[in-house]
Amino acid sequence: MAGVNKVILLGNLGKDPEVKAIDNGRKVARFTLATTESYRNQQGERVDQTEWHNVVFWGPVVDVIDKYLKKGNQVYVEGKINNRSYDDKDGNKKYITEIVGQTLTLLGGKPQAGGDNESNGSSSYASSSQPSSVTSASDDLPF
C-alpha cells in the first residue's frame, strides 16, 4: 500500500519571501508561515500557540509569490513534508524540515502589486511540481 504525505496550512507570512533563480534557471521561493491555535487554559484564559513552518515553492508560481506576497499576508498552502540535511559553512551537518508547496491560495482579496489585498476573494496557484499549470480563480470562498 502506498503512503500519503499531505500537509494543509492556513497562516500568515512571517517575513517577505526570498526568491532566487538557481543554476539551471529554475526559480525557488522560500518563506516562513505562522499558524496559530487558540485555546483556553485551566484558568479560563485564552492562550495562543504559534507554530512556524518553512515553506518552499518551485517553478512559475514563484513569479506570483514574488509579485504579490509580503510579510503578514494570509495564505493557504497544500504540499508535502520534506526532511533534508546540508553542511553549513563550518562543515557541521544541519537538518531542516520544510513544506514543499504544491498549491497556493492567496487569501484576503484579489492580489495587487505590492501585496496590498483590499477586496474580498482569493486566488489559487499550482506549483510546477504538479502536472497542472499555473491557474487563477477569484471566486469568493464558500464559507
Is 42 inside any structural domain? no
- Whether 104 maps to a domain, the answer reads yes
CA angle, residues 26, 32, 37, in degrees to nearest 5:
145
Please indicate, yes or no, if residue 141 is contained in any of the structural domains. no
Residue 115 · residue 123 · CB < 8 Å? no
- What is the average pLDDT across 42-67? 96
What pLDDT, on a 0 to 100 scale, did the predictor assign at position 89? 94
Count of domains for the chain: 1
- Cβ proximity of 9 and 53 under 8 Å: yes
The verdict on residue 23 lying in a domain is yes
**Contact between residue 55 and residue 79 where contact means Cβ atoms under 8 Å apart:** yes
Res 69 pLDDT > 50: yes
- Residue 132 domain-assigned? no
- Look at residue 114 in the predicted model and tell me its pLDDT: 52
For residue 112, what are the contacts with CB-CB under 8 A and spacing of at least 6?
68, 118
User: Residue 81 is placed in which grid cell?
Assistant: 513534508
Q: Looking at residue 113, what is its pLDDT?
A: 54
| pLDDT tier, 117 (very low <50, low <70, confident <90, very high otherwise) | very low
Please indicate, yes or no, if residue 142 is contained in any of the structural domains: no
Work out the average pLDDT over 100-110: 87
Say which CATH number the domain at 61 has: 2.40.50.140
Q: What is the mean pLDDT of residues 73-102?
A: 96
Could you tell me which residues are beta bridge partners of residue 100? 56, 80
Q: How confident is the model at residue 36 (pLDDT cuts 50, 70, 90)?
A: very high
Q: Does a structural domain hold residue 134?
A: no
Q: Does residue 18 lie within any of the structural domains?
A: yes
**Residue 65 in this model has a pLDDT that exceeds 80:** yes
Find the domain containing 82 and state its range.
7-35+47-126
Q: Is the pLDDT at 135 greater than 90, yes or no?
A: no
